[in-house]
Structure 1
Amino acid sequence: MISNSHYGFPIPDFRLRFILFFGLAFLLLGCEVKLPETAVRGSIQVSLTADGETYNLDTEATNVRELLEEAGIDVDEDDELTPPAYTPLVGGEDIVVVRIKEEIETTTESLPYSRKLVRNESMNVGEELIVQPGKPGLQETTIRIVYRDGLEAERWPTQTIIIEEPQDEIMMLGIGTPRDNVSFPGTLAYMSDGTAVILRGDSAFPEQLDVGSGLDGRVFDLSPDGSHLLFTRVDGDPASFNNALYIIETQRNAKPRSLNANDVLWAGWNPTSEAELGEIAYTTAISTTQPPGWEANNDLWLGEIPASAEEEFEPELIIEAYPALYGWWGGNYAWSPDGTRLGYSFANEIGTIVIDPDFKGERRVRLKEFSEYNTLSDWVWVPTLTWSPDGRFLAYTSYNDDDPNQPTFDSWAIDSLTGVNGRFVQDSGMWAHLHWGTSQDDVAPIAFLRTTNPLDSEHSRYTLWLMDQDGSNARQIYPNLNENSNFSYQPRFLAWSPTGAEIAFIYNNALYLYSLEEDSARRLTENDAINSHPTWAPYGNAIINGFDFDQSTPATPRHTNDFIPENPRRSE
């Protein structure tokens, strides 16, 4: 208890504490409280460059975004800002805004044409003759241009469209020195740099047929008597799948005639037709924007060629469609020598189709199914076909799936009447492209390509081989052993002569003629052109009716014992 002498009575201590507390509070309110200077944010200095001007600014902004808002600078989505908007500011920074603008420009430019030289021994040395004038092409290019602060900084093409392909100048150059002339039976035609060239019984004077430009190589086939050439050419946009079917007489100064059949994947002559100008079969597709650029209809048309150009070609639809595996790619076809059937192949099967339009039974006979080969791409591997001269056996190549890690391909022959299947060549490769020869003295050998690397036959080199009709006595005929080889993968790289004594083939883009009797090959073309698609006539009925040599009974494997068993062990 605290006493108060002035009043003479004691003051309770809780009252004293109350008085002291309020007195201290009044003292504190009367004092000025100061925070440490380090806790107060002042202005900082930064540099800002935008729209061609540089500013030195005092700012209290805490990051780049706030600074731009404070300065009234708008930044578009395409503009470049350095450093980024979320970057904190501490002073001394250089902030740069670069204005970005893009424009699209379209330019048209001329495409130069090339000059092709064709050597001619019948002209004097140094003499020149332009047989086809050159014509520049036209190309349209879309260019993307980027401007930085109004100045062009980048430009690059985004799309290029060829409006018109250039036409090469073809010049005939006289060399005045005769070369060895090579004679052969019949008429031999081939494609050379997109044109059609014909040789009439010898190599001395190649002649060009006026087929126009744009041969696409899908169809290029002499008629059985050699009087006409059946071909396709591109008549629209060369960047997309589109073509039309034509025929032209092989006589000089002839002009092509359209058959009004479009978007053709395959076409071929009936070797035994009795029609005046012959009969053809063909199959079509539709053009698409998706790879590979077409979708096969897997249809089949049959029609006789009108004798007069005034008459319309009126084919008959034999098969409307066929639901094949990977059918969008299409199949391969081959006429039987007697003209009654077509051999066909798709990704996992081969068979035959009866052609007679009046036939009432089941047209299609599936002879063999096998595993398809997955290319892991937008193309499909389909085996090529070749018939024995008597029309009984079909030779083909199929994928061997014994070991998926080591894909190999073998070549076989199958009896189209009994279905007996026998292997001709083990590890021949996917591009073997067997071609059965014309019968000569009861012998009909088979020419084929053989891979140099069976485990990578898709990309390897190939050499040309010959074997007997039963698959025996296989031997390499070109090039010589241990020489580098350069054969195309194109199926139509080879054609047999009407007598079966010679083979025309394409090697390193040049045309060669191989003589079975001499066991040697001679080059027929001497220019730098890209040659392909040899086709030789006569064949079929035209051989029997129009050639003065003994046409013996066609030869085939004599009996099924000639075959290797269907599933032999690889160790055998």
Structure 2
Amino acid sequence: MWLEDSDVDVSTTKMRKIVLLLVFIPSVLLTMLLGCQRSSIPVIVQADGNRQQVLLPGGTVRDALAAAGITLGALDRVQPDLYVEVTPGMVIHVTRVEERYETERVTVPYVRKVIVNEALPTGETRLIQLGMNGEDEVTYRVVLEDGKVVERIRVSQAQIKPPQDEIVAVGATHSLRAVPLEGTIAFLSAGNAWVMRGNSAARRPLTTEGDLDGRVFELSPDGRWLLYTRRLEGDIETPLNQLWMVKTTVVGESPISLPVRGVLYAQWSPDGKQIAYSTAERTTSPPGWRANNDLWVGKADARAIARATQVITANLGGVYGWWGDKFAWSPEGKAFAYARADQVGVYDVLSGTITVLRDFAPYNTYSEWVWIPDLSWSPDGRFLAAVVHGEPLANEDAQDSPLFDLWLFATDGSLQVRVAERVGMWSAPSWGRYGLLHGEAVDALHSMDSRYTLILRDHDGSNPRRLFPQGEGTGVLPPPEVAWSPSGETFVFVYNGNLYLGNIRGGIPQQLTSTGQISRPRWAADEHSGENAEKMSSPPGNSLR
């Protein structure tokens, strides 16, 4: 009996254990399952047009993308950022970004240019050059987001075929009275060279291409030849321009190209037998060139000039030397005056020596251009007139001074005199047979944009008298453009785009042109008047001693 009771107790104990296990194990499993569910974070990933949910125990957006099997491209964007910790219900957006380049050909329309031709009757028009469209190849950078274009930016444009301007000449609206003139006058009008000889009505074009850049525009001393530069279009390897010459005495004479390119300065020698020039290289950065500051001299012949002699080797040119030095050949042909942003001086060709006449602070233009002084030799070659940057007006930096003064220098360095203060940066002195003509800024403290009156002084800088304007009229636009007649008694100047004839004795100037497009006037004796000019009496007035 006792054994039977013992068997029953054992069986009961086993049953209890089994029941406990059956109750405990599901509870543990349920607890574990609930724990797992509580530690998993649901995240929504949107990419490639699909939306999917992933569960993470934690981590960052980067982990969520990896769990979703999303691979990112180099330009793809993700919101939120990859380093952000995920949170329940977070929506992750993946934007597919693609970048590509596209090219297309575009038409470049030609420009219609109208030039006034006083040789045509009033109201008459004449087609000088037929216009033709050009063609460019344009490259765009295209950005796509999820297959849609969101940005299209032009990154480059290369010229395939340049457009050709349509040029139409029209007759002047009114005619001017013909004014008798001595010698030969040349001037620029709408990119072409014109010549005027005998009287103001006897004028004709020497070029018709309209591509003169104005860097070089010089009449030979006898007036028979015009030296000029034509711009060249092209890439970085193409020079800025090319030197040309044309005969002024023969109608229809074809211009002659000279084997000299990239020219910043060129000038005839006083006897007209040689040409001096200085060169530059084209650049992609402003101002579009880098000056060599060199100086060459060669015979005034298309073949001989190729064997020109280098007088000054290429150099940095001092402060702002990349802009380029100015040069002026002395009347006797043995020296060159030079001007830089901070210095004027004389270079003796025979000895190779430099005489510095004056140093000064360069003018800070706060722009991509550089102010360089204008120079003019006295007729006897003993003195030089130049505009010099002045001393500070108040407490400003020396380079910011708004003042510019007119100085006269003995070319051997023995004498220097300031003859006029506050004349303006564009005073442009021009020494003639009977005195020194220069501009004087109406607003001396803002001379860069000011108009200028024309002042004539005796050779020593004394006795200033205003020749233009008369009364209360406005002055000329900067810089004053003046050219002396061979006799020195008259001069031409540009006023509001037209050419006027002035006299050293004063009086109302006579208008010679009406196109409103005139610049760069030059005046020379004709080939038969050179000896007569030399026989004229010496100039009146004081002279420097």
TM category, shorter: 0.7 to 0.9
Q: With structure 1 as the length reference, what TM-score do the two structures score?
A: 0.78
Partner of 1:104: 101
Structure 2: gaps spanning 5 or more residues: 1-23
User: Which letter does structure 1 place at the counterpart of 2:300?
Assistant: I
CA distance in 2, matches of 1:483, 1:160: 47
CA distance in 1, matches of 2:452, 2:407: 18
Q: CA deviation at 1:155?
A: 1.0
Distance change in 2, residues 1:133/1:325 (3 Å):
same
Partner of 2:387: 397
After the TM superposition, which residues 337-376 of structure 1 pair with which residues of structure 2 at under 5 Å, given as runs?
337-355=331-349, 359=350, 361-375=351-365
Distance change in 2, residues 1:311/1:89 (3 Å):
closer
Partner of 1:128: 125
CA distance in 2, matches of 1:451, 1:79: 62
User: Which letter does structure 2 place at the counterpart of 1:242?
Assistant: L
Is this contact kept in 1: 2:78–2:94, CA < 8 A? yes
After the TM superposition, which residues 397-416 of structure 1 pair with which residues of structure 2 at under 5 Å, given as runs?
397-402=387-392, 404-405=396-397, 407=401, 408-416=403-411
CA distance in 2, matches of 1:182, 1:66: 92
Q: CA deviation at 1:400?
A: 2.1
Partner of 2:374: 384
Give aligned-pair identity as a percent.
35
After the TM superposition, which residues 390-539 of structure 1 pair with which residues of structure 2 at under 5 Å, given as runs?
390-402=380-392, 404-405=396-397, 407=401, 408-417=403-412, 419-437=414-432, 439=433, 443-450=434-441, 452-454=443-445, 456-457=446-447, 459-469=448-458, 470-478=460-468, 487-489=477-479, 493-517=481-505, 519-527=507-515, 529=517, 531-538=518-525
Q: Secondary structure at the match of 1:430?
A: coil
Partner of 1:155: 152
User: Which letter does structure 2 place at the counterpart of 1:448?
Assistant: G
Structure 1: gaps spanning 5 or more residues: 1-29, 561-572
CA distance in 2, matches of 1:496, 1:182: 16
Is this contact kept in 2: 1:453–1:460, CA < 8 A? no
CA distance in 1, matches of 2:187, 2:126: 22
User: Which letter does structure 2 place at the counterpart of 1:196?
Assistant: A
After the TM superposition, which residues 266-277 of structure 1 pair with which residues of structure 2 at under 5 Å, given as runs?
266-273=265-272
CA distance in 1, matches of 2:240, 2:483: 27
CA distance in 1, matches of 2:407, 2:112: 45
Q: Secondary structure at the match of 2:427?
A: coil
Q: Is residue 2:352 matched to residue 1:331?
A: no
User: Which letter does structure 1 place at the counterpart of 2:339?
Assistant: S
CA distance in 2, matches of 1:401, 1:124: 54
Tell which deviates more after alignment, 185-194 or 315-324: 315-324
Structure with greater proportional helix content? 2
CA distance in 1, matches of 2:50, 2:472: 74
After the TM superposition, which residues 283-302 of structure 1 pair with which residues of structure 2 at under 5 Å, given as runs?
283-289=278-284, 291-302=286-297
Is this contact kept in 1: 2:232–2:239, CA < 8 A? no
Q: With structure 2 as the length reference, what TM-score do the two structures score?
A: 0.81
CA distance in 2, matches of 1:466, 1:261: 37
CA distance in 2, matches of 1:144, 1:394: 57
CA distance in 2, matches of 1:351, 1:245: 27
User: Which letter does structure 2 place at the counterpart of 1:87?
Assistant: V
Partner of 1:545: 531
After the TM superposition, which residues 207-226 of structure 1 pair with which residues of structure 2 at under 5 Å, given as runs?
207-210=204-207, 212=209, 214-226=211-223
Tell which deviates more after alignment, 186-195 or 515-524: 515-524
Q: CA deviation at 1:233?
A: 1.9
Partner of 2:14: none
Q: Is residue 2:43 matched to residue 1:59?
A: no
Distance change in 2, residues 1:67/1:497 (3 Å):
same
CA distance in 2, matches of 1:285, 1:394: 26
Tell which deviates more after alignment, 320-329 or 426-435: 320-329
CA-atom RMSD in angstroms: 3.5
Q: CA deviation at 1:468?
A: 1.1
Q: CA deviation at 1:425?
A: 1.7
Distance change in 2, residues 1:488/1:108 (3 Å):
farther
CA distance in 2, matches of 1:380, 1:462: 20
Q: CA deviation at 1:467?
A: 2.7
Partner of 1:265: 264
